[in-house]
Amino acid sequence: MGISLDANEIADLLRSLEFTVNIDGENLTVKTPDHRLDIGEGIIGVADLMEEIARIYGYDRIPETRLSDQLPPQRGNTSLEIEDRLRDILANLGLQEVITHRLTTPENEARRFPQPSQDQRQSAGIEEPEYIHLANPIASDRSALRQSLIASVLEVGERNARLIDRLAFFELGEVFLPESGRLLPAEPRQIAILLSGPRTEQHWQEGDGYPMDFFDMKGVLTQMFGNLQLKEIDFKAVEHPTFHPGKCASVKIQDLPIGLFGEVHPLVKINYDLPEYPVMVAELDVEAIQPLVPDRYNLVSVPVFPPVLEDLAVVVDENVSAEQIRDLIRKIGGATITKVKLFDVYRGGQAGPGKKSLAFNLTYQNPDRTLTDEEVARIRQKIVKQLDKELGAHLRS
């Protein structure tokens, strides 16, 4: 304890607590009173007696001492810090975190796919996934380690949809994927998000009662990536059996695959007791995101010079995406183009067969001075010329 007491002083302290103490030189034999059942035996009992001695002697009388060694270097845990940032970002966006069982059954997880018959599965060459099973499961419905967070959040949505209309939550945790030649499975950490129901919660003021859709999920992901200061985010339409055809997209950051999101397929929804509202789900690889999050990033001051706002509507082939046009506008406009926003898509007689009209709002701005009309016109002319050259886009008349 950092103090020096002789045998008689120790004996007096213990006797005041009704201990029986016999002194033999520097050795003490102590008998515990019958009512002190909290005092252990052997080494534990010695530690308990030391606590009693310190308590009666007085903690305030024990002198403070400094560490005799240097403090160890302080190292942060980057992975946990980024995961905490993800939780904070999604919570600030109005989502709740859920924590589900890591144990499930293959049958429960199979509900996240449309259910073909056994003959259809065999003819399509669909193999049953291999699961890690427990030798002594705690329950019949908790016998295998999960392989998907989508199944977990859909089960949570199924239970909560009976009570509330609006569902907005996420889960961050491990999945367990068997690896050939290895005894233990891989345990990548993933994050799953589920959105369904009205866009805003019921309120005494009139709110947005329209149901959340694909673009609400895309907005949540875009905001999350933006708050992490991630750049070069690419969304691309893909097909996946869990998701509605035409309403599913993959996510890439700096050309690295991160995950999928979209609206749950109608044939998957019938496997769960879910509401009539569309159900949006995302599943992202947290371990793939972590090394892309920058340690430092530059801050840009609020511009003091006014922007120039302009609309640009172009007619393109149906297979040309808005993203291609946006990226080309940013490339040609450079730092002067600070914002490109798609605000209208038109298909009809004026656009022509196999064509569509896309209208963008462009923001021109220079941080050092006010742009002139002539400068904006030159940049616009370069953009229009390059759009025609590379994408066959022409201005809508």
pLDDT digits (tens, 9 = 90+) for 188-208: 999 999 999 998 887 777 777
Q: What's the pLDDT at 128?
A: 67
Tell me if 298 is assigned to some domain: no
Mean pLDDT of 356-364: 93
CATH value at residue 279: 3.30.930.10
Burial 94-110 (b: 16+ CB within 10 A, else e): ebeebebeebbbeebbe
Q: Is the pLDDT of residue 71 over 90?
A: no
Helix (H, G, I), strand (E, B) or coil at 391: helix
Residues 170 and 209 in one domain: yes
**In angstroms, rounded to a whole number, what is the distance separating the alpha carbons of residues 325 and 93?**
29
Residues 249 and 141 in one domain: yes
Residues 260 and 318 in one domain: no
pTM: 0.76
Instruction: State the residue range of the domain holding 386.
Output: 308-395
Q: What is the DSSP letter of 50?
A: H
Token pair, residue 84, equals 């905490």
Task: Point out the least confidently predicted range of 127-136, 172-181, 289-298, 337-346.
Answer: 127-136
Number of domains in the chain: 3
Q: Of 260, 292, 324, at which residue does a domain stop?
A: 292
Mean pLDDT of 157-165: 91
pLDDT digits (tens, 9 = 90+) for 266-299: 999 999 988 889 999 999 999 999 999 998 888 8
- Helix or strand holding residue 248 (H, E): strand 243-253
- Helix residue ranges, H only, the chain: 7-15, 42-57, 78-92, 106-110, 118-123, 149-160, 214-227, 266-269, 286-289, 322-333, 373-391
Residues 145 and 49 in one domain: no
Contact (CB, 8 A) for 365 and 391: no
Q: Which residue in the block uniquely carries the two structure tokens 């002067």?
A: 336
Mean pLDDT of 359-382: 93
Contact (CB, 8 A) for 224 and 205: no
What's the helix, strand, coil split of the chain in %, to 5?
A: 30, 25, 45
Residues 244 and 280 in one domain: yes
Mean pLDDT of 41-52: 88
Residues of the chain with pLDDT > 70: what percent? 97
Q: What's the pLDDT at 120?
A: 46
Residues 56 and 89 in one domain: no
Tell me if 297 is assigned to some domain: no
Contact (CB, 8 A) for 361 and 343: yes
Tell me if 66 is assigned to some domain: no
Q: Which residue in the block uniquely carries the two structure tokens 């050795």?
A: 27
Q: What's the pLDDT at 124?
A: 44
